[in-house]
Structure 1
Amino acid sequence: MRKTVLMAALIAFGFSQPSIAADSLTSKAQTAQQQEKAHNSEREAKFKQEEQTLAARKAELESRKAQLEASIESLSNAFSDNERTLAEQQKKLHLETGSLGELFGVVRQSAKELQVELEQSVANTEQPKQIKAIDDIVAAKKLPSIQELTGLWNAYQAQIASSATYADVKIPFVNGAGEIATINATRLGNFALLAEHGPVDWDGKLASDFPRLPKEVPTSADTAGIVTGQAPAVIDPSRGDIYKQLADKPTLSERFAHGGIVGKIIAGLFAIGMIIALYRAVVLTTTEQKIKKQLKSPEAPTDNPLGRVLGVYNSEKQLHVEALELRLLESIMDEQQHLERGLSMLKLLAALAPMLGLLGTVTGMIETFQVITQFGNAEPRVMAGGISMALVTTVLGLITAMPLLLAHNLLSSKAEAIRNVLERQSVGLVAQQAEAQTMESKQAYAA
């Protein structure tokens, strides 16, 4: 009974439990649905607000685009109109100027040439007004006015007039120490400035001394005599270009200095060789004169090669012919050694000088190639030192070798001629002794 009641209670409770759960889930679902609906409404409101903002922005940009397109079209039309107007104006200008354009070109070209002339002219300090007028014409970008053309004409007139006059002027002068001072000078035409110490170089703003001048040059004190023709003088009409060329032509001492240490060695060898040659020439000439005197009096031997050979003959003539001949030959060989003394040194120096010249040439070329390696070969002045050394040493070697070789040949010929005289006299003495001994032998045989 109790079991039945318990089972019935359990069954009743099982059927009532799902109903309670279903009601709870339905309530939660409705609540979530309402929250989602509110959230979606809020999002839709934001989207609509953003859509309205973007639409307004789009409308604003489209308005600006329309304005820009209208501005572009307006500017394009204005540009086209300006292009047409410019073309028309240029055509009108070309038609109206006509030959005046060519005149403007000729005037500017003439003004530029005169401007360069005035910049280099020694009379430019006296023509500031003309220089200003010429500068204005050169800088102008339009047709010259009648005043400018008149200024060009006046500048030409002033330049022509100054070329026929001379005047005392004060000019800025820079000395060798770089100090600038004002000195008195005399202007000769448009091409020369004479200071108290001679002509000076004028670059348009400053005067300076020329690197080198001829020995006799005019000074400012000679101006009056030069103009009147009473004191003829050498004047450079090229505004100093000829004077400047003197600096590019080195003197003999400067050329010798280009040879460097090798050139000095060659010069020393040349001096030694010439001293030897002159000394031996004096000795051989004196010996030759003594031998000529000795030939006139062979019976009285003196202090000379032939006299010493005769002395050997007189002291040894009692010997047999063959022994006498050997003794005379020995004496001649001794004399030959004295006659040829120093000639081998001359020959050595004559052969050594060209070799030293070649050494200087190689050294100079090495220096030139080193300069090329460091600075390139764009500037010939940079390489001039090595090339000068290379060429000068070669010339010095040849100049040294030729006179030394000639002196050696002449002195050798003179020594050989003296030796031939000694040999002829020796042979004659031997033949005379042989005849005497033959006669004695015949007499002894006959007795």
Structure 2
Amino acid sequence: MQRNTLQSLVRPIVIALAVMVPAAAMAAASLDELLEQTRTARAREAQQNQARIQQFQQERNRRAEMLAQARAELAQQNARANALSAQFDANEKKLTELQAALDAKLGNLGEMFGVVRQVAGDFASVAYNSMISAQYPDREAFARKLSESKSLASIEDLERFWFEMQREMTETGRVVKFNAKVVSPDGKEEVKPVVRIGGFTASSEDGFLTYLPGQKEFAVLSRQPASRYVKPNVELLEETSGYHTATVDPTRGTLLSVLVQTPKLSEQIKYGGLVGYIIMALGVIGLIMAAVRFAALSAIAAKVEAQRKDPTNAREDNPLGRVLAVYYKDPNTDPDTLQLRLDEAVLKEIPALEKWLPALKLIAAVGPLMGLLGTVTGMILTFQQITLFGTGDPKIMADGISQALVTTVQGLIVAIPMVLIHAFLSGRSKNIVQILDEEAAGIIAEHAEKQHGRAA
């Protein structure tokens, strides 16, 4: 290798001398001078070549040193790699042993972690649907995060999870007033005082509320139940302590939704249709007539009682006074004629005393018949709906069935009171007629006794 290197260095020198000699020979004046020039050039070239050889040798030595250093470093790195590989194998073995020991120790904790995730998922669903979350809105997100965690829960998370479950149980048994967002039926959102009875029922000054889980706020029911259910809960807003009456839905809104759908009195009357309105009109007319007759008979009875206390002063403003006036007009007539005149006077008073009573009796009889008419028309409507749409949806038949039942009830509601009212007013009228008969009989007896005394 060294020989090849020297050859590669000498070859350019020889070529340079071959070029330079002809040039020097052309410039030299004699052979001696040419020889001297050649010797001088050769010496100079030899010095240059020797300098170059030394430079090349130094470069070769330097590169040899670098090669030796690289080989030494390579050997050192190979040794280090072998050592690191051995250490890696040892660490892998140790890591495997430690992992096995960790898995053995985490056996029970892993099972507990699974239970915690499952229970946290269940509690997240409970917290999402519970109206208590409107007061504590961050607990559902915490439980959801814990249920989706891929690592063991910390002691702090487990303690908070226990606290949130305990708070859910505690708040279920409390009545709390707090401020919350309430959406009115027209869509307006306001922060209002809300009374929460456990996790079952919530109400504000507008009435019962329904909980909106996604927004963590409440909405006023567009249709409220009867006031007897709403009023106690609204009044509860003003209370601070003690025991109070309130309406609670233990089904968390199911019963309340059914109660809200219960038709009101006006809606029930509407179900009766035209026949129902006619029945109710007859009932109203009957009540008006009954009220007028009751007031009239009460006034007549009072005047008759006053007349009985003063029989000698016959007044024309009451039936008894008019009967007595018949006697006082001709007190000397014979008893038979007097009896006929008094009977006639009593008979004249009876129509006025029994005024409108036949009409009340007629309304009491017509009411059930009208109810039966509504029942028949309602059933006809029901069968028509069944013919058109079948029996798949019971709501289709609801209108006809409602009309049938409501009109029946309306007819009975009108008839039963009318029967009782007619019996009551008829009794009062008969009492007055009986008083007239008794007074007339008394007058006849007194008159006969007077006539007998005169004859004796």
* TM-score (norm: length of structure 1): 0.58
Displacement of 1:313 in angstroms is: 2.5
Task: State the distance in 1 between where 2:328 and 2:138 align.
Answer: 99
User: Unaligned stretches of 5+ in structure 2?
Assistant: 1-106
Out of 283, 290, 304, the residue aligned to residue 291 of structure 1 is 304
State the secondary structure of the residue aligned to 1:214: helix
Separation (CA, whole Å) in 2 of partners of 1:199 and 1:270: 35
Q: Say whether the 8 Å CA contact 2:374–2:408 is kept in structure 1.
A: yes
> Paired residue for 1:214, among 193, 213, 230?
230
Contact 1:133–1:148 (CA<8 Å) still a contact in 2?
Answer: no
Q: Report if the CA contact (8 A) 1:196-1:220 is conserved.
A: no
**Cα distance in 2 for residues equivalent to 1:134 and 1:436:** 114
Match of 2:219, SS?
strand
CA contact (8 A) 2:377 2:404 kept: yes
Q: CA deviation at 1:348?
A: 0.9
Matched, 1:262 2:281: no
Q: 2:421 is matched with which residue?
A: 407
Deviations 1:364-404 (A, max 9, x none): 33444444445544554554444444333333322322222
Contact 1:185 1:193 (C-alpha < 8 Å) held by counterparts: no
Q: Is the 8 A contact 2:236 2:244 kept in 1?
A: no
Counterpart of 2:409 (choices 368, 391, 395) is 395
Q: Which moved more, 1:189-198 or 1:117-126?
A: 189-198
Local SS of the residue matching 2:314: coil
| Aligned AA (1:121) | S
Residue 204 of structure 1 is matched in structure 2 by 213
Mark the CA change 1:371 to 1:181 in structure 2 (over 3 Å): closer, same or farther. farther
The yes-or-no answer on 1:315 pairing with 2:333 is: no
Per the TM alignment, residue 362 of structure 1 is displaced from its structure 2 partner at its CA by 3.0
1:342 lines up with 2:356 in the alignment: yes
Counterpart code for 1:391? L
Q: Is the 8 A contact 2:320 2:436 kept in 1?
A: yes
Equivalent in 285, 306, 310 of residue 272 of structure 1: 285
Could you give the per-residue CA deviations for residues 379-432 of structure 1, whole angstroms, max 9, x where no partner exists? 545544444443333333223222221221122222223223323333444455
Task: Tell me how far apart the structure 2 counterparts of residues 133 and 399 of structure 1 sit (CA, whole Å).
Answer: 61
Q: Letter of the aligned partner of 2:233 in structure 1? A: V
The corresponding residue for 1:120 is 129
Moved more, 159-168 or 396-405: 159-168
2:448 paired with 1:426: no
Distance (whole Å) between structure 2 residues aligned to residue 297 and residue 195 of structure 1: 66
Task: Report Cα offsets for 1:37-76 as digits up to 9, x if no partner.
Answer: xxxxxxxxxxxxxxxxxxxxxxxxxxxxxxxxxxxxxxxx
Could you say what secondary structure the match of 1:202 adopts?
strand
Q: Distance in 1 between matches of 2:432 and 2:202?
A: 68
Query: Could you give the per-residue CA deviations for residues 12-43 of structure 1, whole angstroms, max 9, x where no partner exists?
Result: xxxxxxxxxxxxxxxxxxxxxxxxxxxxxxxx
User: Structure 1 pair 377/320, CA: closer, same or farther in 2 (3 Å)?
Assistant: same
Task: Give the equivalent residue in structure 2 for 1:93.
Answer: none
- Which whole-Å CA distance do the structure 2 matches of 1:333 and 1:352 have between them? 29
* Pairwise CA distance, 1:237: 7.0
| Residue in 1 that maps onto 2:343 | 329
Give yes or no for contact 1:163–1:190 (8 Å, CA) kept in 2: no
Distance, in Å, in 2 between the alignment partners of 1:112 and 1:358 is 59
Residue correspondence of structure 1 range 177-188 to structure 2 within 5 A: 177=186, 179=187, 181=189, 183=191
On the 8 A contact 2:275/2:370 being kept in 1, the answer is yes
Deviations 1:219-272 (A, max 9, x none): 9987xx75xx47968474744445435414455455444444434333332232
Report % sequence identity: 34
- Give the direction of change, closer, same or farther, for the CA distance of 1:308–1:167 in structure 2 (3 Å limit): closer
State the alpha-carbon separation in 1 of the partners of residues 326 and 138 from structure 2.
Answer: 96
- Opposite residue 349 of structure 2, the aligned amino acid is E
**Farther-moved stretch of structure 1 (371-380 vs 418-427):** 371-380
Question: 1:187-213, CA deviations, whole angstroms, 9 ceiling, x for partnerless residues?
Answer: 967566666756531142244212326
What's the TM-score, normalizing by structure 2?
0.57
1: CA distance between counterparts of 2:236 and 2:425?
Answer: 58
Give the partner amino acid of 1:119.
Y
The amino acid that maps onto 1:302 is R
Q: More deviation in 213-222 or 339-348?
A: 213-222
**1:152–1:310 CA distance, 2 compared to 1 (3 A):** same
SS of equivalent residue, structure 1 residue 201: strand
Q: Is the 8 A contact 1:301 1:311 kept in 2?
A: yes
* Bigger CA radius of gyration: 2
Post-superposition Cα deviations, 1:134-163, rounded to whole Å, max 9, x if no partner, equal 7749xxxxxx87459998996565343466
Whole-Å separation in 2 of the counterparts to 1:305 and 1:175: 65
> Which stretch has the larger CA shift, 180-189 or 156-165?
180-189
Displacement of 1:325 = 3.2
Q: Distance in 2 between matches of 1:285 and 1:197?
A: 47
Please list every run of 5 or more consecutive structure 1 residues that lacks an aligned counterpart in the other structure: 1-97, 138-143
Structure 1 counterpart SS, 2:233: coil
The reply to whether residue 130 of structure 1 matches residue 142 of structure 2 is yes
The Cα shift of 1:214 comes to 0.9
Q: What is the aligned-residue RMSD (CA, Å)? A: 4.6
Aligned to 1:300: 313
Q: CA deviation at 1:335?
A: 0.9
* CA deviation after TM superposition for structure 1 residue 170, in Å: 6.7
Distance in 2 (alpha carbons) for counterparts of 1:221 and 1:289: 53
Checking the alignment, whether the CA contact within 8 Å between 2:183 and 2:189 is kept in structure 1 is yes
Q: CA deviation at 1:273?
A: 1.8
CA distance 1:218–1:347, shift in 2 (3 Å): closer
